[in-house]
Amino acid sequence: MIDVMADIHLLYTHEGGRKSFICSGYRPNIRFGDNVYVDGAITFSDREKVFPGDTCQVQIRFPKPEGIQKYLTIGTSFDINEGALKVGEGKILALP
Amino acid sequence: MRRCAVGSVTLSHCVTGVGGKDDTDASAATLVDGIDCMGMHGDANEKARLYRAVSQDELDDIISFGGFRPGPGHMETKLFTTSADDAAYVAREILYPLDHKPLTIVEVEVPHAFWIRLFRFIADGKPVVAVEPNQLEALNAKGRRRVMDSSPIPYGSSCAFGDTRKG
């Protein structure tokens, strides 16, 4: 298990993003590179909800980071997906 | 022998229970969306089985609502594994470590015609099937749900009672 700090941006609904907000604990598919998907639990402490179109700083916990070690570097970009649907994107800001 | 093509790699004995079928015609296997398994090429009467590890809150909602729906602030797309083994793996190795809440595996039997429209991919090394928000109504209407009263011990996992399948 590993935690990283990241900036994320949720796409607007009209851009193909979610229809509703996310809460702390939201657990989408984080997509690195071309097609490397892992589960990541997103938590944030400065607000209760993050809405489509919002940008904020979050913590992402990866329960099984073994397959993504090479992507875990500061500045790496990733997509936030729900299956095939891209609902947001982000960039790693800090590592433990 | 059951075989399953995952990307360009062919694995034997993987995703046991996919589709709940016993097709053995290897030549029939094709790749759809990167993953496809034998037994998923049948006629309209054939069924596939999906599995999802759910929290008690979600289980209560499934029972009261009569199906799957997005919870406030959670995924709008519902993810399923293609075997009970993989659902147990996800529950024990990915979900439980995050919040230490108990999980239950729900099995859904869906028509082959519905299955082939679903997006399939690999997440955390396991085959996953995504049911998008606009497909949930059909899943609930066409799928037959069953709450599993036991769950397999994922191969290679450690637990308090030991994994008797190791070695």
Q: Mapped to the 3 state alphabet, what secondary structure does B70-118 carry?
A: CCCCCCCCEEEECCHHHHHHHHHHHHHHHHCCCEEEEEEEEEHHHHCCC
pTM of the model: 0.79
Query: If DSSP codes are grouped into helix, strand and coil, which group holds residue A66?
Result: helix
Q: Confidence class of residue B153 from pLDDT cuts 50, 70 and 90?
A: low
Q: What is the CATH number of domain A2-94?
A: 2.40.30.10
> What's the number of domains chain B is made of?
1
Whether the per-residue pLDDT at A8 is higher than 70: the answer is yes
Residue B112 lies in a domain: yes
C-alpha A74 chain-centroid distance? 14
Q: Does A23 touch chain B (CB under 8 A)?
A: yes
CATH of the domain at B56: 3.20.170
Residue B155: predicted pLDDT: 57
* Percent of chain A that is helix, strand, coil (3-state, to 5): 10, 50, 40
Q: Which residues of A touch B124 (CB under 8 A)?
A: 37-39, 63-64, 67
Looking at residue B26, its pLDDT comes to: 31
Does the beta carbon of A33 lie under 8 angstroms from any beta carbon of chain B? Answer: no
Q: Is residue B78 part of a domain?
A: yes
The SS3 of residue A8 is strand
ipTM (interface pTM): 0.94
By C-alpha distance, which of B111, B54, B123 is closest to A82?
A: B123
For every residue of B2-49, DSSP letters joined together read -EEEETTEEEES-STTGGG-----GGG---STTEEETT-S--TT-EEE
CB contact under 8 A, A64 and B128: no
| Token pair recorded at residue B1 | 């022998």
Tens of pLDDT along B98-130? Answer: 989 999 999 999 999 999 999 999 999 999 999
Instruction: Count other C-beta atoms under 10 Å from residue A96's C-beta.
Output: 7
Q: Is A19 on the interface with B (CB under 8 A)?
A: yes
Residues spanned by the domain of B86:
43-147
Inside any domain, residue B107 = yes
Contact A3, A28 (CB under 8 A): no
Please name the residue of chain B whose CA is at the shortest distance from the CA of residue A18.
B76
Q: Across the interface, do B97 and A63 touch by the CB < 8 Å criterion?
A: yes
Average pLDDT over residues A31-42: 95
CA B84 to chain centre: 7
Is B31 a residue whose pLDDT tops 70?
A: no
Tens-digit pLDDT profile for residues B59-105 = 999 999 999 999 999 999 999 999 999 999 999 999 999 989 999 99
Q: Which of A10, A27, A43, A54 to mutate to test the interface with B (most CBs of B within 10 A)?
A: A27
Q: How confident is the model at residue B42 (pLDDT cuts 50, 70, 90)?
A: low
